[in-house]
Structure 1
Amino acid sequence: MKIFRILQIMSLIGVLIPMGCSDFLEKKSQDEVIVTTVSDFDEFLLGSGYVTYVQYANLYFLDDDIEYYESEYYDELSDVMASYGFQSWQPDMWESEEVIRTNWETYTSTYSRIMGVNAVLDGIDKARGEIEARDQVKAEALALRGYYYFMLVNTFGEPYNYNKKALGVPLKLSADIEENGMPRNTVEEVYMQIVEDLRESSALFEKYPKRRGNYRINLPTVNILLSRVYLHMERWDSVIVAANKAIQYSEGLTDYTKFSGSNFFMCSYDHSEVEWIYGVGVNIQFFGPSADLLSRYDKNDCRPGMWFDMGEYSTNRLLKKDYDWMSGSATPVNTVRISEAYLNRAEAYVQKGMTGEALADLNEVRCNRITGYTNIENVPANLLEEVRLERRLELCFDEQRWFDLRRYGMPSITHRYRYRKSDPWVIYTLREKDPLYTLPLPNEAIRNNVRLEQNASAYEPKRSGVEE
């Protein structure tokens, strides 16, 4: 049986594996452990491959769905200080002590999860156990790797539909140590690997009855992710095929109009549309949904009242997933939901000129979100804008708006920021097609990989705002 030097590998990328909480790893030496059975790999994947904390909180500070709230604000709050580099799109956004302390660094933390996934994929085919269980673990691992590389390449590479030949991120596909570092693959190469991983995962899942629950990725989730990837690649037929499969194996949309805002918690498998629950959600003090975002909801739309803590004295408004943050619960609270498949498919239909089908998907989502909604019968001239608006309303704070702005052509957006209540508001502007739409790599990543080429955005001048 192959020996995986998992402890040694993880220590090099700053990941702590808690040995005391499980006996599934047989200790070989100080830097070696042996993983032998499918059950071993399954537990290892859950602990070292799945998302267990807020890994992409920085994304919410970059787009136009968030703004600063002052209610009960006091000076020198860590989240406010840590957000500055992202809120103002600074070329050194990763380098402040506040960012490091809040664990918002994306690059290294994502590769640590990829390393755990790769360790599973390196050995799962030879693990002892039932073939169905082995296929299940392998399918989950492949899906996770596809998800992580999608997040990385859209953070540190240029948009696929803008320059797919640009540098993306290094493709690390095994847990072996690369002593001399790794160069960056192109955006296109990374996308091809993402598609390959997700398609293989889907094929493995499809061999067996659908599973749902226990915070694990399943067949509809993989195909929702695959339709998301194809959307960025503008492969419209493939978007439709993947979305169709996700919807085929789903339990359908949840009708929000049958719930009251006070007892609705999105992060529950009790809701038919929830296919995967992961991460620990977003609980960022003194920031919340922007006035512009909130103004776009219909007055009878159920979502704002169910998703956001909008109390007069609330200091925690990004609570789309779970209002129960004060209990200290560590339950995962991000979601992948079947509504995304409808919206991905609707956009692809519009691009193909299949406007009737697109309108049907748009109506399907809205009638489950808006009390008293009446289906639109005639195709509006601005149907693509309507679909993209619904996407913004439905998928806000789901790790997607920043990536969508990139593929929409990288429009100019502005943010207001101030460090203390006594300071004046300062307006920062991200220009159309600004180099900072592709984030710089953290200096730590450059130091740890001598072959890693930095993005041009790192050499942009420091951004200065204008007092309001």
Structure 2
Amino acid sequence: MKKLLILLVVFLNVGCSKFLTDYSQDLVIVKTTTDLDELMLGSAYLESKELNAFVGGRNASPFLNFLDDDINSVVGTTLDFQGGWEPWINPYIYGFTTWQLDVSRSYDKSEVYTDDLTWLHIYNRINIVNMVLAELDNVARNTDAEKLAAVRIEGEALFLRAQYYLLLSNLYGDAYNPANADVKLTVPLKLTEFVEHKGNTNLQFTRATAKEMYAQIVEDLKRSVACFDESPQIKKLYRVSGPASQLLLSRVYLYMQDWENAYNTASEFVGKNSVLTNLNIHKEETPLITKDNREVIFSHGNLNLQNVLTAHSDDFCVSNDLYSLYQEEDLRKNIYFAVQDQTDSVSLNNKYIRGTHRSHISDIFMLRNAEGYLNLAEAAAMLGSLNEASVALNTLRNSRISNYIPGQFDANTIVDEIRIERRKELCFEGHRWFDLRRYAVNQIHPYSKDIIRYYSAYDMNKRALIQTEIYRLPAGDPAYTFALPKSVIEFESGLVNNPRNVREYEALAD
């Protein structure tokens, strides 16, 4: 019997060998759209928690903002450390931020973590979404309200499935390249609500090609937009809406280098969602990206950065490479960042609410209007529409830079200017790592770079700095794509894995 009743996923004790099939023993009989609504909110969306430390509970890809060139660790120790600070740099993050072959081991190899946290966390929710979509055919639709509710729930579920597969595909698959998308592998694409078992083969799941995966993501998002056109979302911010689906679709088209569809989708989005926060009237001491910011159209999951990037000698800091991009007239400079007195390093300041709290905004799963302008500008530039690209870029900058004079850009500068602006505006929102990957395979304007990472290792018992090591991620390195989790390979030994190199530090910092 393949058809299952809707089941609640067990998130805390999922068997690693059953990454697509593990469910709890508690059956939830779904009879109404209200039942599905509750199931979606409780099990399909990512929950928000109060985090006292960087890794708290079962977070989805908390490491994402620690992979790219926007962060580094503070070099050396100063009085702020000697005076009583506990070393913060979490052993969990070492394997990720230094791009190790085995991301599950701490710096001194004394601690071993699971490397399948994100994989299990996201696939569990994909399973719930698939079940919800299947059960929509069975719930009562006797009234107009019930019919509209079913259409809205379908729109939410399809968005979430697309967002989850987009994340997994860009962690465990190479960046989308139209030249080889039909052969490059991503992750298993599961669309059914039942437990699949192929009795005639040892390989139960296969990895979808990038072409197959992105075609499904686009199909889901286009249908999601249509659902919300028919049945608009009333509950905003924490529930998916039509604008959120349309904005994410424009991003997907950018990733695919489908510039015409990216332009059309982003243009329609910006036409309906043009609100930008005017930083000329925003107080520097007030957090910018909050649940009350009218630019934010959707968010779920945690803010992983609320207690990190302090720029103390025992922590990570904002890279000078990023900080130097902001001119003095750029109002984001003093809102987003602050220079730490004792270390002279740059901390994350008031882009988000800082300190221990239950976050309402995610640093990975948030969507806001500013991205729409950047998506529009990039797509227009790639199509050669310099005037439209310039208008979108200048509109965003006018709300961010004091006394801004609109720039005039030619074909040789416009793409670079848009990429710089994208990096400045969307820093620490889960974009930069994926942007670097896709820039490297861009067929019109390719760009790649080496990333240099300083990693300061501490003796946790002596509360002392051991040394600061320098790591390099060369352009085109295989580590831009993660190896499949060990538990997945153990379960499906026939799956083709991604190559990844052993990485040693190149030098010690002075």
TM-score normalised to structure 2 length? 0.81
CA distance in 2, matches of 1:59, 1:106: 11
| Counterpart in the other structure of 1:242 | 265
Is 1:43 aligned with 2:38? yes
Is 1:6 aligned with 2:7? yes
CA distance in 2, matches of 1:116, 1:310: 44
| CA deviation vs aligned residue, 1:343-368 (integer Å, no higher than 9, x gap) | 11111111111111111111001001
- The 3 A distance-change label for structure 1 pair 190 and 378 is closer
| CA deviation vs aligned residue, 1:39-95 (integer Å, no higher than 9, x gap) | 111111111111225412212121101111367458985643212111211111135
| 1:406 Cα deviation after fit | 0.6
CA distance in 1, matches of 2:36, 2:111: 35
Which amino acid counterpart does residue 303 of structure 2 have in structure 1? G
Matches within 5 A, 1:18-29: none
CA distance in 1, matches of 2:346, 2:68: 18
| Contact 1:251–1:272 (8 Å) recurs in 2 | no
Matches within 5 A, 1:50-129: 50-52=45-47, 54-69=59-74, 72-73=80-81, 77=87, 79-94=89-104, 100=113, 105-129=117-141
Is 1:207 aligned with 2:226? no
- The 3 A distance-change label for structure 1 pair 329 and 433 is same
| Counterpart in the other structure of 1:22 | none
CA distance in 1, matches of 2:104, 2:406: 46
The SS at the match of 2:100 is coil
Identity of aligned residues (%): 35
| CA deviation vs aligned residue, 1:326-350 (integer Å, no higher than 9, x gap) | 3x22434443111111111111111
| Contact 1:58–1:104 (8 Å) recurs in 2 | no
Matches within 5 A, 1:15-414: 30-52=25-47, 54-69=59-74, 72-73=80-81, 77=87, 79-94=89-104, 100=113, 105-129=117-141, 130-161=146-177, 163-164=180-181, 165-179=183-197, 181-209=204-232, 211=234, 213-268=236-291, 270-283=292-305, 285=308, 286-308=315-337, 312=341, 317-318=347-348, 321-326=351-356, 328-334=357-363, 335-377=366-408, 379=410, 381-409=412-440, 410-414=448-452
The SS at the match of 1:33 is coil
- The 3 A distance-change label for structure 1 pair 451 and 12 is farther
| Counterpart in the other structure of 2:490 | 447
CA distance in 1, matches of 2:437, 2:483: 15
CA distance in 2, matches of 1:337, 1:139: 19
The SS at the match of 2:245 is helix
Deviates more, 1:221-230 or 1:328-337: 328-337
The SS at the match of 1:346 is helix
| CA deviation vs aligned residue, 1:239-280 (integer Å, no higher than 9, x gap) | 011112222332521212211111233122x33221112221
- The 3 A distance-change label for structure 1 pair 318 and 211 is farther
The SS at the match of 2:471 is strand
CA distance in 2, matches of 1:449, 1:312: 52
| Contact 2:467–2:508 (8 Å) recurs in 1 | yes
| Contact 1:210–1:249 (8 Å) recurs in 2 | no
CA distance in 1, matches of 2:236, 2:385: 34
| 1:312 Cα deviation after fit | 3.8
- The 3 A distance-change label for structure 1 pair 360 and 30 is closer
| Counterpart in the other structure of 2:455 | 417
The SS at the match of 2:487 is helix
| 1:98 Cα deviation after fit | 5.8
| Counterpart in the other structure of 2:53 | none
| Contact 2:6–2:30 (8 Å) recurs in 1 | no
| Contact 1:55–1:104 (8 Å) recurs in 2 | no
| Contact 1:59–1:399 (8 Å) recurs in 2 | yes
| Contact 1:219–1:249 (8 Å) recurs in 2 | no
CA distance in 2, matches of 1:184, 1:3: 24
TM-score normalised to structure 1 length? 0.88
CA distance in 1, matches of 2:238, 2:47: 11
CA distance in 2, matches of 1:371, 1:330: 30
- The 3 A distance-change label for structure 1 pair 123 and 321 is farther
Q: CA RMSD in A?
A: 2.8
Which amino acid counterpart does residue 46 of structure 1 have in structure 2? L
CA distance in 2, matches of 1:316, 1:293: 10
Which amino acid counterpart does residue 307 of structure 1 have in structure 2? Y
The SS at the match of 1:185 is strand
Which amino acid counterpart does residue 117 of structure 1 have in structure 2? V
Deviates more, 1:311-320 or 1:184-193: 311-320
| CA deviation vs aligned residue, 1:133-156 (integer Å, no higher than 9, x gap) | 111111011001101111111111
Deviates more, 1:341-350 or 1:65-74: 65-74
| 1:423 Cα deviation after fit | 2.3
- The 3 A distance-change label for structure 1 pair 382 and 353 is same
| Contact 1:5–1:31 (8 Å) recurs in 2 | no
- Structure 2: which 5+ runs fail to align? 17-23, 49-58, 199-203, 309-314, 441-447, 459-463
CA distance in 2, matches of 1:253, 1:347: 18
| CA deviation vs aligned residue, 1:93-114 (integer Å, no higher than 9, x gap) | 135586737x983222111121
